[in-house]
């Protein structure tokens, strides 16, 4: 995948923005979002509900750091590792019952609303691709008002890698014009499976070193930083990644 990605306001067509004569620069026109850890912070509630599941299953609870390092998607892999003796249907019943009791802890992530407004302003096509349970999504989308920003919503997705392939094909997305923004290794894997750009945000579940290890095209601290990248005259993904790592080392 080319490291040269450019963004221009919708309406410019396939016009050139800078570059040498005869060089057609690619533009980002489609943004696919993860939900949890990318747009809303549900980690405290998910941790509390997960520890309730562990208690019911008779296994030790996890602290926040351990949970962030161990939790993975598809979530059945996580359950198979720690509570293989309990049927998945029972685990999900425990989890969702507990989550409903602590869903008041879920809050929108800083910069998320502004970035969604940015996408709307520039007429980017927006998609949601998430494993979040439909009932929880409806409640959270209503509370935040984020639901109105998406052109298409896909929730309760067990394996985003498989769904990403069909999403790209069914909606006629050009891979080099599309970026998937998420906070977990699985999101990067899903982007790779669909042949689209992978942007990892550091506002969610996985630690920075976990995300760096899976080598997304771009890592940003938050969606405000991604907005800044897109509004610049143009950006090279590898250069942006190196710049971010340099800034983190200096901080």
pLDDT digits over 202-213, tens only? 999 999 999 999
pTM (predicted TM-score): 0.84
Determine the 3-state secondary structure of 70 from DSSP.
helix
Compute the average pLDDT of residues 35-61: 98
Return the domain boundaries, the chain: 4-40+107-250, 43-105
Q: How far is it, in rounded angstroms, from Cα 198 to Cα 218? A: 7
> Largest alpha-carbon pair distance within the chain?
66
pLDDT, tens only, 201-240? 999 999 999 999 999 988 999 999 999 888 874 444 444 5
Q: How far is it, in rounded angstroms, from Cα 203 to Cα 74? A: 19
Compute the average pLDDT of residues 12-31: 48
| Domain 4-40+107-250, classified CATH 3.30.70.250, yes or no | no
Please determine, for residue 9, whether its predicted confidence score (pLDDT) is greater than 70.
Answer: no
Query: What pLDDT sits at residue 247?
Result: 61
Q: Strand (E) positions, the chain?
A: 4-6, 26-27, 30-33, 40-41, 107-108, 125-129, 152-154, 178-182, 197-201, 218-220, 235-236
| Weakest-pLDDT range from 5-9, 22-26, 184-188 | 5-9
Query: What pLDDT sits at residue 251?
Result: 62
Residue 78 contacts residue 70 (beta carbons within 8 Å): yes
Q: How many CB atoms lie within 10 A of CB 55?
A: 13
Measured in degrees and rounded to the nearest 5, phi and psi for residue 62 equal -115, 150
Q: How far is it, in rounded angstroms, from Cα 222 to Cα 201? A: 6
Query: What pLDDT sits at residue 229?
Result: 85
Closest by CA to 208, choosing from 174, 173, 180, 247, is: 247
Task: Name which residue leads in pLDDT, 6 or 64.
Answer: 64
Query: What pLDDT sits at residue 244?
Result: 55
- pLDDT confidence bin for 27, thresholds 50/70/90: confident
- pLDDT confidence bin for 31, thresholds 50/70/90: very high
Q: How far is it, in rounded angstroms, from Cα 195 to Cα 192? A: 5
């Amino acid at each position: 995948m080319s490291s040269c990605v450019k963004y221009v306001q919708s309406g410019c067509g396939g016009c050139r923005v800078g570059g040498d004569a005869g060089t057609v620069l690619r533009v980002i026109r489609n943004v696919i979002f993860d939900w949890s850890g990318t747009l809303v912070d549900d980690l405290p509630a998910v941790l509390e509900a997960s520890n309730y599941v562990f208690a019911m299953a008779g296994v030790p609870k996890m602290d926040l750091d351990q949970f962030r390092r161990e939790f993975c998607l598809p979530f059945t892999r996580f359950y198979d590792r720690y509570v293989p003796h309990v049927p998945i249907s029972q685990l999900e019943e425990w989890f969702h019952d507990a989550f409903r009791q602590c869903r008041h802890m879920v809050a929108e992530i800083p910069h998320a609303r502004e970035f969604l407004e940015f996408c709307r302003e520039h007429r980017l096509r927006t998609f949601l691709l998430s494993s979040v349970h439909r009932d929880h999504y409806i409640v959270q989308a209503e509370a935040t008002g984020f639901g109105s920003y998406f052109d298409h919503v896909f929730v309760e997705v067990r394996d985003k890698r498989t769904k990403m392939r069909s999403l790209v094909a069914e909606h006629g997305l050009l891979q080099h014009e599309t970026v998937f923004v998420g906070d977990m290794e699985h999101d990067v894997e899903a982007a790779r499976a669909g042949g689209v750009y992978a942007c990892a945000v550091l506002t969610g579940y996985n630690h920075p070193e976990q995300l760096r290890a899976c080598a997304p095209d771009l890592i940003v601290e938050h969606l405000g930083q991604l907005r800044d990248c897109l509004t610049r005259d143009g950006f090279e993904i590898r250069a942006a990644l190196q710049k971010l790592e340099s800034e983190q080392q200096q901080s």
